[in-house]
Structure 1
């Protein structure tokens, strides 16, 4: 949407906002998930959510007064606290539910979280058209090519800072609900409050949670800043180091895990330590499978609006520059459909996995994703260089919808397999780890798409995704679909 309303940022700069938020979200998911105490206080969760209000308010003010790219990048980094809140939320559910309830409720919670991404693609483009924030000094932007769920609103005025205000109001409401529930849990039900000894234990748990939360946030943000600075191009305020993102991500994970291990709470080397999952080879295989499914879902959902706008909203002129396409389709009219379809396919994937096996379902999903990505590569490349790119819009979108469907179903089948491959003592930490690794898809996929779009070869990014899905196909088949393997079709 920043591109649609004419903000003067480069393409790499716009994609960097997505990549930074993805790197910070993934790092903080792992950091907070590994350092949480066994019982997660609702006040610790409340603190993290309260901190998340700060970037939302900052975004509202920054967009209102045309802030610099550096300011928006800092706010994108802080927005990664949403990933940390996700880990706290999973921890809270895990400690509050019986084992037989966790799989169903966690799956529902993850689905609701993904639904939020689809809902934001619907609601936020609509919110910016509401002119009820007409305060002095509020800058109105002429939206030359902006679009909403209902279609193009070319030439209409939009209040782009409403995005930040809307998130601030939503988070404030959630904080009030959490405070009310926490107060009821602390004092409610007519129990007359906590006994002195229990109260002391609760205060100790809160203090421990606050300390570990502070350390985890510091480590997560530090690692995220370093990783983004090393990989982002100079025009996006990065070093532009010519090394693969895979190596940088691996190095950042090693550094983060080493720093987290300095905190006393995770020094123990026993079956309940979060580091115990790394002794199981299936951790690494399932991490790759989760990157294929949930990582693709998150990364493509975040990067698709800007990719569609740059590919179909502009045409290649004779001087080699891209000029606005007068026949461009409304991006936000369709872009929410892919994530929404993927969410609807989650229960289908779980049902199929329960009937035919998790590994078989994952294998079919990987095959569909590979073919869909290969087909999408053809249409994306053709549209980028065509004088009328809109003719390729619907075939490309249909293939992306298929890819999202397979990703949603595949993630459900991966979780199904995880429940059968790992003991209950490791599943909480494994879910945290896999969710963090998958969130790095929001860093990797936008970065690769931005790089290839700048080179004029966006189809190569989709070909790379197709090759990765082919690797996942082979990996899943080797470990879980061989009769002589340790586990067959878990």
Structure 2
């Protein structure tokens, strides 16, 4: 049996760390929409810029953790990085309880929240896993962090409608919404609740670390020596690393970029129509998270390259359709009639990006030596996280010039390029690795 020592399950304290970190990061995608609804005085371009800053910050921290190697996977490091999330959470509370808001302060807050997006500490628990089921296993592990995304975008808007901590309320100037439904203009929103709830989650995570992770427990030996710089050089000199990196940017990069941007893109769907964005925004990321195990299962069954190709083609067509809908809505006197189609096509995009992410993980496990797999996956994740920076940046540029459809057509061209590369490199009979 071809086996590899990898993480079949992420232990509970680490899982909580992942969830809390992603909740903090993605809370910014909720906050920017709510800042618009309470008319905090910022343009859509400024709000998109905040998302791009947080995405850039998360990417930088990912690379820091990547170069730290084993040290970034030790229990003490994860414990301290969880506790460090208190700083941006407390800063968020202080800012939202002391209006008016400074845009400079919000930019610093966005950069601090990006630290939560770098909490992908995996492979802390090691078991032997059948290589034939590796796609499923890695998909489940990667999907854990997605729980934090759904919590942020589904639960936080709902809980900000209640005076839970005696915070000063903001009042909506535009129609808003949450998972329950539409919130009428003039309703109170307790935006500081977002920070308070994240603080409570971090405290819970810290206590869990102390209770569930006794000091006598020794961490399992890592898969390969991640502090051995020869492994770094080896994966970066391998052409398949760079191909898989490009494909993972297509998949996970698009997923995380659209996830952080989707709520605000719904809110900015049309200048004359403001939908209840937070009522629907969480559905896309949830479907993307659920699609990860499904994509891993399909990759184990049919091969990672075939599933990646299917997903790339679906993404190409979907982005062309989404761009056409966006253009038609911008020209229509009744843009609301295009909103449902825009929402549904993006749900397809989220499903395709989730499935493709797991298929690519499966392919990486075949084209790269197994002892370098954890390091390679951390590299792919670090690079692909940049999707949370460049996707809102493109929306920022296009919103500035009132041409939102162009960004979607650019994405479609990129996905088509990836489909061609998958076909040429991995789906020809003479390929070095056929349908890995």
- Say whether the fold is shared (TM-score over 0.5): yes
> Shift of the alpha carbon at 1:91?
4.4
Q: For residues 143 and 123 of structure 1, do their structure 2 counterparts lie closer, same or farther at Cα, with a shift above 3 Å needed?
A: farther
Q: 2:283 aligns with which of 334, 337, 344?
A: 337
The C-alpha deviation readout for 1:265-293, integer Å capped at 9, x for no partner, is 96x542xx323211110011001110111
Residue of structure 2 equivalent to 1:167: 198
Q: Secondary structure of the equivalent of 1:391?
A: helix
Q: For residues 132 and 40 of structure 1, do their structure 2 counterparts lie closer, same or farther at Cα, with a shift above 3 Å needed?
A: closer
Pairs within 5 Å for 1:375-390: 375-390=321-336
- Whole-Å separation in 1 of the counterparts to 2:87 and 2:130: 37
Contact 1:65–1:139, Cα closer than 8 Å, also in 2: no
Residue 44 of structure 1 pairs with residue 74 of structure 2: no
Aligned residues: 394
Pairs within 5 Å for 1:57-206: 57-66=90-99, 67-86=101-120, 89-93=121-125, 96-98=126-128, 100=130, 104-135=136-167, 138-154=168-184, 155-182=186-213, 184=214, 186-187=215-216
Q: 2:294 aligns with which of 339, 342, 348?
A: 348
Q: Secondary structure of the equivalent of 2:124?
A: helix
> Shift of the alpha carbon at 1:142?
3.3
Q: 1:371 aligns with which of 312, 317, 342?
A: 317
The runs of 5 or more residues in structure 2 that have no matched partner are 1-33
Contact 2:135–2:297, Cα closer than 8 Å, also in 1: no
Q: For residues 486 and 170 of structure 1, do their structure 2 counterparts lie closer, same or farther at Cα, with a shift above 3 Å needed?
A: same
- Whole-Å separation in 1 of the counterparts to 2:281 and 2:425: 35
Q: For residues 376 and 160 of structure 1, do their structure 2 counterparts lie closer, same or farther at Cα, with a shift above 3 Å needed?
A: same
- Whole-Å separation in 1 of the counterparts to 2:386 and 2:73: 24
Q: Give me the TM-score of the superposition, normalised by structure 2.
A: 0.85
The C-alpha deviation readout for 1:332-378, integer Å capped at 9, x for no partner, is 12111111112222222122212211101110100001000000001
Q: For residues 39 and 465 of structure 1, do their structure 2 counterparts lie closer, same or farther at Cα, with a shift above 3 Å needed?
A: closer
- Whole-Å separation in 2 of the counterparts to 1:331 and 1:269: 46
- Whole-Å separation in 2 of the counterparts to 1:269 and 1:128: 47
Contact 2:138–2:361, Cα closer than 8 Å, also in 1: no
Higher deviation after alignment, 412-421 or 63-72:
63-72
The structure 1 segments of at least 4 consecutive aligned residues displaced by more than 3 Å after TM superposition are 96-106
Higher deviation after alignment, 22-31 or 379-388:
379-388
Q: 1:3 aligns with which of 30, 36, 42?
A: 36
Pairs within 5 Å for 1:90-489: 90-93=122-125, 96-98=126-128, 100=130, 104-135=136-167, 138-154=168-184, 155-182=186-213, 184=214, 186-187=215-216, 269-270=229-230, 273-312=231-270, 314-315=271-272, 325=273, 328-489=274-435
Residue of structure 1 equivalent to 2:19: none
> Shift of the alpha carbon at 1:119?
2.5
- Whole-Å separation in 2 of the counterparts to 1:346 and 1:139: 38
Residue of structure 2 equivalent to 1:29: 62
> Shift of the alpha carbon at 1:143?
4.8
> Shift of the alpha carbon at 1:329?
2.8
Contact 1:39–1:92, Cα closer than 8 Å, also in 2: no
- Whole-Å separation in 1 of the counterparts to 2:246 and 2:365: 16
- Whole-Å separation in 1 of the counterparts to 2:162 and 2:391: 32
- Whole-Å separation in 2 of the counterparts to 1:149 and 1:479: 44
Q: Give me the TM-score of the superposition, normalised by structure 1.
A: 0.76
Q: Which has the larger radius of gyration?
A: 1
Q: For residues 392 and 103 of structure 1, do their structure 2 counterparts lie closer, same or farther at Cα, with a shift above 3 Å needed?
A: closer
The C-alpha deviation readout for 1:366-418, integer Å capped at 9, x for no partner, is 00010000000011122223232111000111111111111111111111111
The C-alpha deviation readout for 1:138-177, integer Å capped at 9, x for no partner, is 2433353221112211121110111111111111111110
> Shift of the alpha carbon at 1:100?
4.5
The runs of 5 or more residues in structure 1 that have no matched partner are 189-193, 195-201, 206-264, 316-324
Q: For residues 419 and 452 of structure 1, do their structure 2 counterparts lie closer, same or farther at Cα, with a shift above 3 Å needed?
A: same
